Amino acid sequence: MPDVTCKLSGLEKSFGRNHVLRGIDLELRAGEVTALMGANGAGKSTLVKVLCGYHFADAGEIELAGAPFKPLDAADAISKGVVTVHQSIDDGVIPDLDVATNLTLDLLTEPGADFFVNDRKLRRQARKVAESMGLTMDVRTRVADLEVADRQMIAIARAMARAPKLLILDEPTSSLSASEADRLFALIDRLRAEGVAILYISHRMSDIRRVADRIVSMRDGAISGLFETEPLDYVGAVNAMLGHQMTEVDIDPVAGGDPILEVDGVRLHENGPQIDLTAREGEVVALTGLLGSGTTELAEVLFGLAKPAGGTLRLDDKAYTPKSAEDAVAKGVFMSPKDRSVNAVVPDFDIANNMTLPFLGAFSRFSFLSERGQRRAADDMIGKIGIVCQGNGDGINTLSGGNQQKVMIGRWLLQASRVLLLDEPFQGVDIGARRDIGHYIRQTAKGRTTLVFVAEIDEALEIADRIVVMHEAAIVGEYINKNVDLNRLVADVSGPAGGQGQSEPATQAMAG
């Protein structure tokens, strides 16, 4: 068994009457990735802050590499070998400085460092750090000018330059695309092989399947489940985190009314399989599958961002051939894209301007924008969808990731649509915010059809009337969201053993 890098025994923490950590016992081992799961308020953040030196535990003990560990503050924790890369990427880098300065900043501030900086030496040291982490960007580049994934990698590289014994990654893929996340996972594999103990905090089951050696579930300040026997029990881990079975959701599925969107023989690739799908008025359909299953590509076809390789689309029984996203919106097909930081959020705008951006015409009269109408509509949506903020004039970047996502969802709910496409609407969102969003989407479902594209099975179960599974650009399973056979659903997501085609539950679901 690997050596224990960090051992927590009987850890307790309270804030007033709020008992946040309740007797945490946990071992974090060298060369292993321990995934930590828990809903908002479970105690994950407090546990991390105790490890980082931001908070002191009220009771209990921590050992690091066999010695007592009682960090005085964050800097002391780092010097002793506990380094955290926070969910907010810019907490780990200084955007206005170049890559070289970010990577060597800690060397510059060490006791005994030279008063005058040798620029050539600095860049040489930075290149050495970058190469050790597989980074290829020019170290003279300003960090603010880099993509999100590169900023994340620099934050991790800076952390690794401190030679940590324990590396804590807090929701590291919340702002990353699939390809960017793959780069991160490859780096985690390297660090694990080097013997670093990694605590990986995430609510995304696809991440956990990819990286975890073991899973720890938290609920109400205590560890509610530990899963380390191969194969890992992902369903059990989610159930332990939620406190109930993943399939126990408060949804009474509706069959839907007349067809609104009909997908007939659509192929996403040349010579690819045909996709047939009918989405009806008032129903919420979740399309789920592993990365590369075709869900995002189908969403792009429906929104006019890509052309299908074959087949036809019909909207309200009329041919639907969107030439662009603008054309799709004009026809009543709206889409909230994934990767909000790249495709949706306008950083310099406040909440109201971000939310109303696609529909400024609706708030204008004789070419004059009615700011009062804009802000009234934004306030109304803030209340309905539960956005936590001071007011509609708050800058979008002052909000948490979950509340930013609510703004993006609220944007496309301001006006009535016939088809609402939501691509990974719960990205970077904790379970509480997820249920707020899901509840409002279902509450407003009449008058349109809603297609939700999600990689996580539990997200599909929490929002949909019907769940459609895709694999390799084909529909391979379909389920009415009532008493779902979870094992069969997971098997469909992983890929049918007998090749492509619909499974038995799909036939039953369509007949129902």
**Cis amide bond preceding 231, omega within 30:** yes
Query: What CATH number has the domain spanning 4-242?
Result: 3.40.50.300
Give 143-180 as a DSSP string: GGGS-HHHHHHHHHHHHHTT--SEEEEESTTTT--HHH
Task: Tell me the pLDDT of the chain (512 aa) as tens digits.
Answer: 679 999 999 999 998 877 889 999 999 999 999 999 887 668 888 899 999 898 999 999 999 999 999 999 888 898 898 988 876 555 567 777 887 877 776 655 555 445 445 567 767 777 777 776 667 778 788 888 877 667 777 777 777 767 789 999 988 876 666 666 787 888 889 889 999 999 999 877 778 888 999 999 998 899 999 999 888 888 788 788 877 666 556 788 988 899 999 999 999 999 899 999 999 999 999 999 876 789 989 999 999 999 999 999 999 999 999 999 999 999 999 998 876 555 567 777 888 888 888 776 666 666 666 677 778 888 888 888 778 788 888 888 777 667 788 888 888 888 889 999 999 888 766 666 777 788 889 999 999 999 999 887 888 988 999 999 998 899 999 999 988 888 788 778 866 443 333 333 333 333 33
Would you say the CATH fold of 258-494 matches that of 4-242?
A: yes
Note the pTM of the prediction, 2 decimals.
Answer: 0.58
Instruction: State phi, psi for 225 to the nearest 5 degrees.
Output: -170, 145
Contacts of 376 (CB under 8 A, 6+ apart): none
Closest CA to 33 of 71, 2, 65, 61: 2
Could you give the maximum distance between any two Cα atoms of the chain, in Å?
77
CA distance 390 to 392: 7
With residue 107 as reference, give the H or E element that holds it: helix 99-108
C-alpha pair distances (Å), 182 with each of 9, 79, 176, 185: 34, 30, 9, 5
Q: Does the 258-494 domain belong in CATH 3.40.50.300?
A: yes
Distance, in Å, from the CA atom of 255 to the CA atom of 273, rounded to the nearest integer, reads 26
Domain boundaries, the chain: 4-242, 258-494
- Residues 6 or more apart whose CB falls under 8 angstroms from that of 227 comprise 214, 215, 216, 217, 233, 234, 236, 237, 240
In this structure, are residues 422 and 336 in contact, taking their beta carbons and an 8 Å threshold?
yes
